[in-house]
Amino acid sequence: AQSVTQPDIHITVSEGASLELRCNYSYGATPYLFWYVQSPGQGLQLLLKYFSGDTLVQGIKGFEAEFKRSQSSFNLRKPSVHWSDAAEYFCAVGTPGGSYIPTFGRGTSLIVHP
Amino acid sequence: KAGVTQTPRYLIKTRGQQVTLSCSPISGHRSVSWYQQTPGQGLQFLFEYFSETQRNKGNFPGRFSGRQFSNSRSEMNVSTLELGDSALYLCASSLAGGSEQFFGPGTRLTVL
Chain A: nearest CA to B105, how far in angstroms? Answer: 4
Between chain A and chain B, how many beta carbons pairs sit less than 8 Å apart? 63
Find chain B residues with C-beta within 8 A of A32's C-beta.
98-100
Say how far apart CA B46 and CA B34 lie, in whole Å: 5
Q: Is the pLDDT of residue B7 over 70?
A: yes
Say how far apart CA B35 and CA A95 lie, in whole Å: 18
Amino acid in position A77: R
Q: What is the pLDDT of residue A31?
A: 87
Find chain A residues with C-beta within 8 A of B58's C-beta.
none
* pLDDT tens digit sequence for A6-63: 999 999 999 999 999 999 999 878 888 999 999 987 889 999 999 888 999 999 999 9
Is A5 an interface residue toward B (CB < 8 Å)?
no
Q: Which of A100-104, B60-64, B95-99 is modeled with the greatest confidence?
A: B60-64
Length of chain A: 114
Q: What is the pLDDT of residue A5?
A: 95
Q: What is the pLDDT of residue B98?
A: 56
Three-state secondary structure call for residue A39 = coil
